[in-house]
Structure formats: C-alpha cells, structure tokens
Amino acid sequence: MTFQAPKGVSEYTPPRSAAFRRAIDTFAATVTRAGYGYLELPVFEDTQLYARGVGESTDVVTKEMYTFQDRGGRSVTLRPEFTAGVLRAVLEHGLHNGQLPAKVWAVGPAFRYERPQAGRYRQFYQVDLEAIGSDDPLVDAETIAIAWDWYQQLGLQRLTLLLNTLGCAECRPIYRAALQDFLRALDLDEATRARVEINPLRVLDDKRPEVKAQLEGAPLVTDHLCAACKAHHDQVRTALADLSIPWTDNPRLVRGLDYYTRTTFEFDHPLLGAQSAVGGGGRYDGLSESIGGPPLPGIGFGLGLDRTVLAMEAEQVATAAVSTVDVYAVPLGEEARRRAFALLTELRRAGLAADMAYGARGLKGSMKAASKSGARYALILGERDLEAGAVQLKDLETAEQTEVSLASIVDTLKGKLL
C-alpha cells in the first residue's frame, strides 16, 4: 500500500465508527427536541470571515488556519471553527428576521494546523449549536443543559463543567486595563508581550508552565463585573442549579477565541490527559457587528466528537455503541440463497436490521458469522425448508430453534423485535 491518510487526520472505521455515529445521532435527537434546526455549511469560507470573527490575535488565525488562494485569486480558509460560518449563514439567509432566537445546529470536520497528538488533530470533528438573537440568561442555561444531557445520554459520568463570565463592553475595558498592568510586570517573551497589548485575555489561556506559574496572582474578571453582567451570571448559575447540573467556577477560563462575552464554559474529562477539554462555548454578543451584521446577541458551543469518543472509550461505554443486526440469514444451497436474499430485503423494508452469509459457506461457518454479527435471531433456510415453505428460526441467545412458515416470518420477527 503506497498511500496513507494525511498526518493528523482522525479516521473512523468499523467497529469504532459505531461510537462516532451514535454520538452524532444522539446529538441530533437531543437538539431537535429543543427546537434546533439543521444547517449544512461549506467547509471553506472567505478568509476575512475568520480573521474578523475569530480574532486576528488568536493562535487560530495567526498560526493554525489552512488558508490558500483559489483559482480565481480569492483567499479562502478551511473552517477552523463553526460559529463564524454559522452566523454568516444565519445573516445571509435572513434567519434572524424570523422568530428569535434563531436556533440551529451543524456537524462536520474542522481544520487547524497543530502538532498532532492524542485528541488533537489537524482534521477534527465537532457538533455545533447556536442560539442567535436573544440575550436571555435562560438561553445560556439551555445550551449548557443540552450539552450536559447529550454527554449523559452517551453514558459519560466523569465530566466536569467549568463556568465563567467574561463581562461585556462596559466592564471588560476596566478589567483589561487591570490585567495589562499586571502582565506588563511579568517576565514574558516578546511575542507574549505583544499579545498583552493586543488581547491580554489570550495570555490567560497560555498553556506553558513557565507562563502559568506567573499568572497565579492575576486579577480576576469576576471582581470587575458591572451590575448587569453580575446579574446575568447569577441567573445562569441559578438556572443550572434548578436543573441539578453541577459546575465548577473557574474565573480564569477564557477559551481560545476573541469573540466571547459574558457566559463562557468548558467540559473537561479527567481520563484524557493533557487534552482534557472535550468541548465548550459561550456568549458572543458582538460577533455579528464584527462581520458586518446588525447588533445580534448569541450563544453556542462546539463539542469535539473525537475527544467525546475517546472519553466514551476511557469510561468503557463505547461498546454500547457497536452496531448489530437483528436477524442473520443462513442459506444452504443455491435456491435457498436466492430466497434468503429476497427475504433479507423484505425484513429491511419492514424496519429490521438484517444481513446474511454471502458466498458458498457451509452451515458451521455461516452460524459462526451469525454469532459474530450480534444478531438476536438466525434464519436457517435449506432446500427441505423451501419445499415445506418454512424457515428455521434460531434464538442465538437461548439456542432455541423453531420452524416458522416463510409467509409469516416477517410478521413473526416484527412481533419479537419491534
């Protein structure tokens, strides 16, 4: 084999891909129940959308984006995150002119040029949810609750929800000035000093131990909130408490993108090592204006599917996602193969998951394949059975075998399995 997947790309093959697919399907069902509609978006956008939306001082924009010129000479970028593209679509298609908040979700790959390691890929997958057009703190709580419930439905019990607020345009400048005064006195490299002047909150997100050690005494944003931001944060916390969703206050949580305001949150998993964050999000009330839209508050999240699958595997709940068939047909003889193949389609059209032993396998090999398939029932069909208009129905859990007429086998299995 000459070719391999590009470095840093996450791929999913059976049976592991079943956990990946189950995570998406469970998310789709969860958000649909909350009134969120699906968006299908392009994987590349005008580069300036991300530069202006995500923030020109972020590592995402300065170091990690896959940017290139297309054949028309336009600068385009593979999406490094979803929110800017989602908001662009909402504005372009006028969804903000209808009922608010406009509630939408999306799923797919995103791209960042990073050093590949466990849980960090250059092509990674996310589920994304956005509620655009409302500054109600209950909408903040709703988005967090949807993410929390999704993780719970997947069987994850070791998650920690970290919660913070980043203030607003009124109180953030006061905090920014206090933070800059503190950071200017530290022993920082030239690039980090430049970041202090452009966006000092980015320094709080620095993962280097030598920088983190100096940040212990940094001023906290929660000590500089205006009355409106404090009230908003208190209402979010009260709503989460009403829903029995536990959280840990983390006044140093800033996330990695410039557009966040007020509510900010992250989900961490202790079994994932250095890359412990499985997802997060927050409010972005000024993002619409930064990309040329009207004033439009919003909140949302991006949850990593790759790290979610790793967490499911770490908690040993991924095996529950392995796909199985309900019925496995075992034909013996050429005429039986033809009849079994037709029966297979009948079963699938009736809503049952069905497969069969292909090729010229004997009874022993076919039954072994039936057991490996995870099916509850095997249908054994031989020449004598055909002459009698019957099929042998074997329960693969109890080993009990009964004869059922071919004419009624579909209804019989529907009664047992549906």
170 assigned ligand-binding residue: no
Place of tokens 């709080």: 204
Tell me whether strands 377-381 and 327-331 are parallel, antiparallel or unpaired.
Answer: parallel
81 assigned ligand-binding residue: yes
126 assigned ligand-binding residue: yes
Cis peptide bond upstream of 101, omega within 30: yes
38 assigned ligand-binding residue: no
d(CA 105, CA 103): 7
Task: Choose among 346, 342, 323, 336: nearest CA to 366.
Answer: 336
Element (H, E) at 337: helix 334-349
Q: In the numeric block, which tokens belong to residue 36?
A: 């969120």
Element (H, E) at 160: strand 160-165
SS3 263: strand
56 assigned ligand-binding residue: no
SS3 303: strand
d(CA 261, CA 290): 13
Check if the beta carbon of residue 291 is closer than 8 Å to that of residue 53. yes
Cα separation values, 151 from 1, 27, 391, Å? 38, 9, 43
Longest CA pairwise span in the chain (Å): 91
CA dihedral 315, 9, 63, 277 (to 10 degrees): -10
142 assigned ligand-binding residue: no
Please name every residue paired with 277 in a beta bridge, in sequence order, or none if there are none: 268
387 assigned ligand-binding residue: no
Element (H, E) at 400: none
Task: Choose among 129, 132, 155, 89: nearest CA to 311.
Answer: 155
Task: Choose among 152, 114, 86, 156: nearest CA to 256.
Answer: 114
Cis peptide bond upstream of 200, omega within 30: no
393 CB contacts (<8 Å, ≥6 apart)? 377, 378, 379, 380, 401, 402, 403, 404, 409, 412, 413
Task: Choose among 134, 99, 126, 95: nearest CA to 262.
Answer: 134
45 assigned ligand-binding residue: no
Please name every residue paired with 267 in a beta bridge, in sequence order, or none if there are none: 161, 279
259 assigned ligand-binding residue: yes
Please report, in range form, the residues annotated as the binding site.
Answer: 81-83, 112, 126, 130, 255, 259-260
Please report, in range form, the residues annotated as the binding site for L-histidine.
Answer: 81-83, 112, 126, 130, 255, 259-260
